[in-house]
Every structure is written in structure tokens, then in C-alpha cells.
Amino acid sequence: MNEMSRRRFLSRLTVALTAFISAIVGLPILGYLLAPLFHAPSDELVPVGAIGDFPVGETKLVSIRDPSPLAWAGQTADTALWVRRRDVSGPQMFQIFNVNCTHLGCPVNWQASAKLFLCPCHGGVYYSDGTVAGGPPPRPLFEREWEVSGDRLLVRQQPLPTVKQG
């Protein structure tokens, strides 16, 4: 075995060992950091309140709490939703909107007298049914699935608006 090929072998061995070290250190940490990608978001139904709390024709702000938050999540375990009661009963009874503007996610605010949702960031405007009335939003407010169970209104947990939705 001549000197040159021995050196070439040793350099390749060193590079290979370094790559091996990087891999056994890197793979666990990469998996740890990318973990959020592999967790399916919760789609549990969580209670919003009693149906009687929502008069027909009105739109009210409610907050729901993540059923299993991290212990240190504090207020971030809460999510606000706009609940619109359209009907006394039936499939058209409620519309439940995410508060996030479909433009960039700022919280929209319901103006009861003007019957409009207004966004404070870039001026998006929506009608009471969530359709766009003006400004930059590309689509209506995101709606959530809901169910009535007895006299309780339940709503489905959901990821951030544009995440995993069209």
C-alpha cells in the first residue's frame, strides 16, 4: 500500500466519521425541533356556552379554552370566536367565525350598529355573514364546525386559519 492511497483512505475515513457524528447528533435534535409537524392538531368539540346565551340575530364574542394546554401556556390557551345566532333552530342556527382576519390574521371586531366586522391592521371589512365587504381580505372569515348537544353549543378545535385550510 503506497503512501498516497493510505493518506486518501485516512482522509476519507475522517470525513466519514465526522459525518457520522453529525448525523447521530443531528437526527434526534432535528426530529425534536420538527416535532410540531408530526402532531395532528386537535379536532375535539369544546363547549362554547348555553344556547340561551345567544339571542337570535346577535353576534357575540366567546372564548374557548384548549382542553389540554401546557401548564405554562397562560392566556394563550384561550381562543376567541365570534358566534352569530341566525335562527331559532336547524342547520342554519349558528355561524361561528374565527376572529382572525383572512388577510393576515389580526383580530376582527364586530360593530353591532353598522353590522360589520372591521380589522384594525389593514382595514379589512366583512358583513355579518362573514363575506368580504371591503379591503384586502382574499376570502370570507373562516367558519368553524359546530354542534348542538342538548342546550349546549359545541365548537370544533381548529388550527390557525390559513394553516391546513384553503
Partner 1 sequence: MRLLRGIASWLGERFELEDSVMAVLRHPVPRELERPIGWWYVLGSATLAIFVMQVVTGVGLAMTYVPAPNSAYDSLQFISHDATLGGVVRGMHYFGAGAMVVLVLAHMTQVYLFGAFKFPREANWLTGSLLLLATLAMAFTGQLLRWDQDAFWSVVVAAEQAARAPVIGNWLATLVVAGSNVGGATLTRFYATHVFLIPAAIFGLIGMHLYLVVKRGISEPPVPGLPVDRPTYRARYAEMLRRGIPFWPDAAWRDATIAAAAVVVVVVLAAIFGAPQLGKPPDPTNVVADPRPDWYFLGYFAILALIPPATESIVIIGLPLFAFVFLFLVPILWPDGERHWSRRPAAIAAVALPFIAYASLTVAGIESPWVPKLEGGALPASVTQGLGASERRGADLFVSKACFACHAIEGAGGRRGPDLSHVASRMTRDQITARIATGGGGMPAFAGGLTPSELDDLTTFLLTRK
Among the listed residues 64, 55, 74, the one whose alpha carbon sits nearest the alpha carbon of residue 97: 64
The size of the chain, in residues, is: 166
Residues 60, 65: Cα–Cα separation, whole Å:
17
In the bound state with partner 1, the residue whose beta carbon lies nearer, of 8 and 107, is 107
Helices and strands of the chain, counted as H and E runs: 1, 10
In the bound state with partner 1, the residue whose beta carbon lies nearer, of 1 and 71, is 71
Cell of 143: 367558519
Per-residue x/- mask for partner 1, residues 126 to 165, rule CB under 8 A? -xx----xxxxxx-------------------xxxxxxx-
Tell the smallest beta-carbon distance from residue 130 to partner 1 (Å).
13
Using CB under 8 A, which of the segments 18-26, 70-78, 83-91, 142-150 binds partner 1? 70-78
25 part of the interface to partner 1, by CB under 8 A: no
Considering only residues 73 to 92 of the shown chain, the ones binding partner 1 according to CB under 8 A are: 73-80
Measured in whole angstroms, the distance separating CA 164 from the mean position of its chain's CA atoms is: 9
**Grid-cell match 333552530, residue found:** 89
42 part of the interface to partner 1, by CB under 8 A: yes
Count of residues of this chain found to bind partner 1 when the rule CB under 8 A is applied: 56
22 part of the interface to partner 1, by CB under 8 A: no
Concatenated DSSP letters of 61-112:
EEEEE-SS--TT-GGGGEEEEEEEE--SSSTTSEEEEESB-TTT-PBPEEET
Kindly list the residues in this chain that would bind partner 1 in the complex (CB under 8 A).
34, 36-37, 39, 41-42, 61, 63, 66, 69-80, 99-100, 103-109, 111, 113-116, 118, 120-123, 125, 127-128, 133-138, 158-164
